Chains A and B, each alone.
Chain A
């Protein structure tokens, strides 16, 4: 109390000096803000804006007919199928990995965590190629698959596999640090009180990680629906059959059908915006959750 009083009493010169030493002059501040805003506007706002203006450049009717066209519908359907299989697979994996790595200490744990990150560091093109080298006609299993008339490459299974590979770490990555930070006490208490393993997971662990889980699923889904390089290698680009939305965009664009290409692209851009919105919402929710826990901790 006394110190505060003294400092206040010294008046303006001191506080101005303190401000100058721990902050910047106004013109520097505005220069930095201006630089950041221009940079973000050019690199983030402009691409978004160009997608929507180009999509609507030829009018609303061209926009909607581009989306209703059979090939576009087939591409949308295939994208939904690929994401609909890849995301649940990686969700189950993410939960298992988070339980094993987040709740237990064992030899080789950090090595295993690094291995889970591998798909992030592999080029999308290489991610597609590795499946061609296994399941392709020239691949390791190629002759056997051909003899049994099973098509993986240039068919839907290859697209699902490639999508699964590139989205592999997303949910696990999200959950592992979260489960680790939560600690084991609550689960141990539940078990001691007679809950079964599944009950403990379902009633104790899951509620604690639900926002992280949701965010992981949203991110995983965005990448699964938008993947281009890996899917491009394994798809074979058969119109109406093995084209996902990004591949359909590429074909339209290369045929100089710009407005339809951007129309399909605008759907994916909307998905991206929805993903960012969900991220902000989940962030807010999880902060509320943390605040609540802190309040409960104070009360107890």
Chain B
């Protein structure tokens, strides 16, 4: 019995295209990534464990994951409202708002970082009002949450939007004609339909936030144990020529991001084939999500 690696096709170029794809992928991504694990394997298990569970590292995980979860939660709440409003209602300058949703994808993180810091620092446009009620919006964990909310803003909107657009209005009409009131229609018909997409968007925003660096370092103040995110801890260790330490923390981050990637894939598989292609495209390609 012969297993077919590839199905028959008359199109040429499979070998060349696949060969180049795999070669380039290995050179740029796979080999460098495995170098990290190779480097980490020069540490003994005790050394590794000692580095990744040091109090300063633990404090950085708590901030990175905590702030990312809060920011992704904020984005889930407002993202659902924004997606709903953009799909269902008409209001002035709607197109402008719609195109600007992708700004966090396009604006370099360093630019976002200094802009947010200017807004939320003590004499900034919004920071002065926070200051008046005794809240430090910059150079505090709150600043980290603000920066991560900015970075993750497009994800939930762009995963939920195409699903809402595709949702037949007839389903709602059917629910209404069967006697459901608006609230029942929303909770029984709409929410189940957009749930998988919303969760996918939430997870993507969270995954992006955990690794984010540029937009956070300016606004966070970078105080060890208090406002130091995990990616910054890696940089600090590198600057002290502590390569083993930086690598160990990086391995923790890589394992977490692989786990996130896996859960995003599972979520998309759960939400079904058609939405899967759409949600996947929505990461970077909202333009063609309707194609």
Residues of A within 8 A of B (CB): 18, 20-24, 29, 32-33, 35-37, 39-40, 42-48, 50-51, 54, 89, 92-93, 96-97, 99-101, 103-107, 112, 114-126, 129-134, 136, 138-140, 161, 164-165, 168-170, 173-174, 177-178, 181, 184, 187-188, 191-192, 197, 200-201, 212, 215-216, 219, 222, 225-229, 232-233, 245-247, 249-250, 253, 258, 261-262, 265, 268-269, 271-273, 275-277, 279-280, 282-283, 286, 290
Contact = CB atoms under 8 A, between A and B. Distances in A.
A31 to B, nearest CB: 10
B250 A44 contact: no
A272 B103 contact: yes
Given A121-B260, A165-B28, A181-B291, 20 more contacts: A21-B181, A33-B89, A37-B97, A51-B111, A100-B21, A121-B258, A122-B33, A125-B213, A132-B243, A134-B32, A165-B32, A187-B11, A191-B11, A212-B285, A226-B111, A229-B109, A262-B118, A265-B111, A265-B115, A269-B107
Given A233-B235, A272-B108, A123 B11 contact: no
Interface of B: 3, 5-7, 9-14, 16-18, 20-22, 24-25, 28-33, 35-36, 38-39, 78, 81-82, 84-86, 88-89, 91, 97, 99-116, 118-119, 124-126, 149-150, 153, 169, 172-173, 175-177, 180-182, 185, 207, 210-214, 218, 230-232, 234-235, 238, 241, 243, 246-247, 250, 253-254, 257-258, 260-261, 265, 277, 280-281, 283-288, 291
A96 B175 CA distance: 48
A43 to B, nearest CB: 6
A113 to B, nearest CB: 9
- The majority secondary structure among interface residues of chain B is helix
A197 B10 CA distance: 10
B283 A253 contact: no
Nearest to B174: A22
B265 to A, nearest CB: 7
B284 A43 contact: no
B40 to A, nearest CB: 9
B17 A22 contact: no
Given A47-B119, A133-B36, A121 B284 contact: no
22 contacts: A36-B97, A46-B125, A50-B124, A50-B125, A106-B5, A112-B21, A114-B265, A118-B261, A119-B29, A122-B211, A124-B211, A125-B234, A125-B235, A133-B35, A165-B32, A173-B283, A178-B288, A200-B12, A228-B113, A246-B108, A279-B102, A290-B291
B139 to A, nearest CB: 14
Contacts of A121: 207, 211, 257-258, 260-261
Given A106-B5, A107-B5, A174-B288, A36 B78 contact: yes
Contact of A197 (B13, B118, B218): B13
A106 B238 contact: no
A254 to B, nearest CB: 9
A29 to B, nearest CB: 6
Nearest to B182: A21
In the A-B complex, the 6 residue pairs with the closest CB atoms = A226-B108, A123-B211, A21-B176, A228-B214, A229-B213, A197-B12
A227 B110 CA distance: 8
A286 B119 contact: no
A283 B287 contact: yes
